[in-house]
Structure 1
Amino acid sequence: MDARDIITIGMSAERTLVVPPERTVGHFVPHMPMVYATPMMILEMEMASGDAIRDCLQPGWVTVGTEVDIRHLAATPVGATVRTTARVIAVERRVIRFEVEAFDDKRRIGEGRHARGLVNVETFTKRLGTG
């Protein structure tokens, strides 16, 4: 499958999350503040990127994260609503590139770029010896 045949620049998605204690730095690292953890923000950015293109993929095909270039700009407390967006900015044969952002109730808290690789699940699992 060639991503250029099915995915177009501008495709987008948005996710919303109320920050739970389990997604804070303090949950993972004792004695740290209970604020939204950078890896959890990146996870939401990756998930929004996947959401933006998932419906275009043929059965048996998925995308996997391959690159992240993210800046975490501001701390967000437990209970705040975070809105994460992803928009396709480039499409190559097997790589889809996204611009991603995250916002809390007051401001932009994260921004950057993310890339996802297009893979055939059957071929992928055979190569790993897990299928």
Structure 2
Amino acid sequence: MDARDFITTGMSAERTLVVPVERTVGHFVSGMPFVYATPMMILEMEMASGDAIRSALQPGWVTVGTEVDIRHLAAALVGATVRTTAKVVAVERRVIRFEVEAFEGPRKLGEGRHARGLVNVEMFNKRLGA
């Protein structure tokens, strides 16, 4: 399957999250501040990227994260509303590349690039022996 046949540049999605305590650095690491954790921001960026293309995927196919290149630019407190965006910027045979950003209001919290690989679930599970 070739992603270029059904994924196009410009496809996009947006997610909104009110930061809970469970998504903060302080929740995971004792003594750290209770601010939005970088891995949790990356999770939202990956989820938005998947959302951007999910409806175009053929039955039995999914995408999995393969690359992240993210800069966390500013902190967000518990209760902050974070908006995460993802836009397809390049499509290869089995790889879809995204530009991702996160904001609290107009303030940019993070930015970068993310890639997802196209995977046939049945073949993937067979290969893993699942």
TM-score, length of structure 2 as denominator length:
0.99
- Kept in 2, the 8 Å contact 1:80–1:105? The answer is no
1:13 is aligned to 2:2: no
Q: 1:106 Cα shift? A: 4.6
Q: Which residue of structure 2 aligns with residue 73 of structure 1?
A: 73
One-letter identity of the residue aligned with 1:64: V
Q: What SS does structure 1 have at the residue aligned with 2:89?
A: strand
One-letter identity of the residue aligned with 1:23: R
Q: Which residue of structure 2 aligns with residue 87 of structure 1?
A: 87
Aligned pairs for 1:97-108 within 5 A: 97-108=97-108
Q: Distance in 1 between matches of 2:12 and 2:45?
A: 11
Q: Distance in 1 between matches of 2:124 and 2:106?
A: 42
1:127 is aligned to 2:130: no
**Equivalent residue pairs, number:** 130
One-letter identity of the residue aligned with 2:85: T
Query: Tell me, which stretches of 5 or more residues in structure 2 are unaligned?
Result: none
Q: Distance in 2 between matches of 1:23 and 1:100?
A: 19
One-letter identity of the residue aligned with 2:88: V
Q: What SS does structure 1 have at the residue aligned with 2:98?
A: strand
Q: What SS does structure 2 have at the residue aligned with 1:56?
A: coil
User: What's the CA shift string for 1:11-61, capped at 9, x where partnerless?
Assistant: 000000000000000000001000000000000000000000000000000
User: What's the CA shift string for 1:104-131, capped at 9, x where partnerless?
Assistant: 135000000000000000000000011x
Q: Distance in 2 between matches of 1:28 and 1:129?
A: 32
1:30 is aligned to 2:27: no
Sequence identity percentage:
85
Q: Distance in 1 between matches of 2:27 and 2:39?
A: 12
TM-score, length of structure 1 as denominator length:
0.98
Query: Tell me, which stretches of 5 or more residues in structure 1 are unaligned?
Result: none
**RMSD over aligned Cα atoms:** 0.5
User: What's the CA shift string for 1:78-99, capped at 9, x where partnerless?
Assistant: 0000000000000000000000
